[in-house]
Amino acid sequence: MSFLIEDKVAVVTGGSSGIGLETVRLLLQHGAKVAWCGRDVSRLQASMESLAAEYSAEDMYIQQCDVLDKASVHRFIGTTAATFGQIDMLINNAGQGMVADFESTQDEDWLSEVQLKYFSVLNPVRCVLPYLRKSTIASVSNVNSLLALKPETHMIATSAARAGLLNLSKNLAHEFIKDGVRVNSILIGMVESGQWQRRYQNRSDLEQSWEDWIAGIAQKRGIPMGRLGKPVEAARALVFLASPLSSYTTGSVIDVSGGFSKEI
């Protein structure tokens, strides 16, 4: 099934690993041209090399970029537009969470979480919006967390900031639709990552397989599907929302949490 994005141009922030890299891969697989960024140059180059055997170098562009730095984002988006001549889709994936309860969360931590969750989206959106207004399939897709609806006390600042990002995304959807730009989000639960792989390497039972170990984690957390999500599963939801297949969808969210959410 085609996502109808052949020869369209996508920008993916935080694209050098995990959900971001799988999103880049899926976009390329379906004929899009993709520019992605990251802060770590070596990881960024490695991500390009991992895709170079399958996809044309003419369809790929990478650049080091800190999404919290306006000038850095401006350079990345400007060079992307100059390289491909257009931008049709923006997928905001950069960001991470902070584990801390109320007592251990300092004032600067609250500010840092708000800055990261908001401006990792606001800076790219501001730069890309003039190009999106010229596109016939314009979209912004934000990677958010189930914490936006299901706050966790051990991630109190991140939960609050995630809820704010969900509200922001809804507002942008209503404001931008007059320009033909759709804005949607995915809410991810627990997804396999390098962090989980490192925890697995340090497991107490060295005979336990990855699958059994992950199933145990899922059982403890009460995930109905009995496992963690895979990055490609989140990527599929993102590309769907970014593509014309969801042309009548804006201000919406897709829950990618294996049934963990019980919110209505």
Per-residue pLDDT tens over the stretch 124-181: 999 999 999 999 999 999 999 999 999 999 999 999 999 999 999 999 999 999 999 9
Q: What confidence tier does 199 reach under pLDDT thresholds 50, 70, 90?
A: confident
For residue range 38-72, list pLDDT tens digits in order.
999 999 999 999 999 999 999 999 999 999 999 99
Q: Check if the beta carbon of residue 87 is closer than 8 Å to that of residue 75.
A: no
pTM: 0.94
Least Cα distance to 19 among 193, 163, 165, 158 occurs for 193
At the topology level, CATH places domain 9-191+230-256 in Rossmann fold (3.40.50)
State residue 205's pLDDT score: 77
Rounded Cα–Cα distance for residues 97 and 256 (Å): 17
Least Cα distance to 7 among 84, 118, 96, 90 occurs for 84
Of 160 and 98, more confident: 160
Q: What's the burial of 161, exposed, middle or buried (CB within 10 Å: 0-12/13-18/19+)?
A: buried
For residue range 185-194, list pLDDT tens digits in order.
999 999 988 7
State residue 231's pLDDT score: 96
Show the beta-strand stretches assigned E in the chain.
9-12, 33-38, 60-64, 89-92, 139-145, 182-188, 253-256
Segment 90-99 mean pLDDT: 88
Segment 227-255 mean pLDDT: 97
Comma-separated ranges of CATH 3.40.50.720 domains in the chain: 9-191+230-256
**DSSP character for 255?**
E
Q: Which range is least confidently modeled, 90-104, 149-163, 201-215?
A: 201-215
State residue 122's pLDDT score: 98
Segment 250-256 mean pLDDT: 97
Count of Cβ atoms closer than 10 Å to residue 165 Cβ: 26
Task: Please state, rounded to an integer, the average pLDDT across all residues of the chain.
Answer: 94
State residue 85's pLDDT score: 98
Q: What confidence tier does 104 reach under pLDDT thresholds 50, 70, 90?
A: very high
Q: What confidence tier does 100 reach under pLDDT thresholds 50, 70, 90?
A: very high
